[in-house]
Amino acid sequence: MDHSKMEARIASGHSATGTGAAANAGSDDKGVADVGTAAALRPQLRAARTAMSEDQRAQANDRIADYLDDWAVQGLTRPMRKGSAQRVLAAFWPLGPEPDLRDWLMRQSADPELMLALPVVVERDAPLVFKRWWPGAPMRDGAYGIAEPDHDQIVTPDVMLLPALGFTAQADRIGYGGGYYDRTLAGFDVAGRKVQTIAVAYACGLLAEGTHVPAPHDRRVDAVLSETGWTPKMPV
C-alpha cells in the first residue's frame, strides 16, 4: 500500500468505543459500519503508543527482552524442523515507535543453534521474504524506510516475531494494515509449512474485550508478548 493510500485509510478510520488504554481517544462514532475493524482502531492505537515516553519505551524494550530470554530457554528449543541444524527465527527491525528487539537479536546471534532473519518487502501487496541477518550484515533502506538485509540469502522461518500495533486477549493481531504478514502466513499454509508466530507489542496495544472485530483474512498468532508478559501464555 502506498503512503497516500495509507493516509487515506487512516483519515477515514472511525474510533470505536472501548475501555482499554488504547481505546480512549475520541468515541463519537458509535454505530458506523466499521467500528471495531483494524482500520477503525489504528489511529487510537498509534496515539497510545506515541504517548509513551522514550524512557517508558526503553524500559518496555528491556522487559520484552527479559521475557524473550526466558522463552529462548523454555520455548524456542522446541520448534525445529526435522533435519535442520539451526532454527530460523525471523524478527523485525523497528520502524519508528515499534518495540526494538535489536539488542536482544544481537545477543541471540551468538547462539549456534539459531539462524536469525528479517523480513523484506519484495513487492507491494505480496508475501514477505525473509533474509538472514547477523551483526554487521549488509543492510539497506527498503520499502517504508525499513532497514532490510542487502544480500541474497533467503531463508524460511521456523518461528516468527511479528510487530503488532494492537492485540486482543485472544491473540488477534493488528498491524500497520499492509496485510503483509497475513499474506505471508497464508502462503506458508498453502505450502504446508508450519511456523510459530509471536506478535510483539507494547501493553498499551491491548484492546478491550469486544472492541475488535477481526476480518476473515486475519490470522491469530500463537501468542503476543508485551512488557507485561505473554497473552495468553508463553508458547512452547
Ligand X SMILES: Nc1nc2c(c(=O)[nH]1)N(C=O)[C@@H](CNc1ccc(C(=O)N[C@@H](CCC(=O)O)C(=O)O)cc1)CN2
Residues belonging to the binding site are 98, 173-181
55 versus 123: smaller Cβ distance to ligand ATP? 123
Interface with ligand ATP (CB under 6 A): 38, 174-183, 186, 215, 217-218
- What's the min distance (Å) between Cβ of 160 and ligand ATP? 11
Helix locations, 75-212, DSSP H: 102-108, 180-190
Stretch that binds ligand X, among 61-69, 89-97, 101-109, 153-161 (CB under 6 A): 89-97
* Given 57, 75, 98, 206, the residue binding ligand X (CB under 6 A): 98
- The distance of closest approach from Cβ of residue 117 to ligand X in the complex, given in angstroms and rounded to an integer, is 12
The residue with cell 503476543 is 224
User: Which segments within 175-215 are labelled E, that is strand?
Assistant: 196-200
Residue 92 or 202: the one with the smaller Cβ distance to ligand X is 92
Residue 36 or 179 with smaller CB distance to ligand ATP: 179
Instruction: Give the pairing type, strands 166-167 and 173-174.
Output: antiparallel
Question: Is 93 among the residues that bind ligand X (CB under 6 A)?
Answer: yes
**CA 170/CA 187 separation, integer angstroms:** 23
What is the SS3 assignment for 13? coil
CA 108 to chain centre: 18
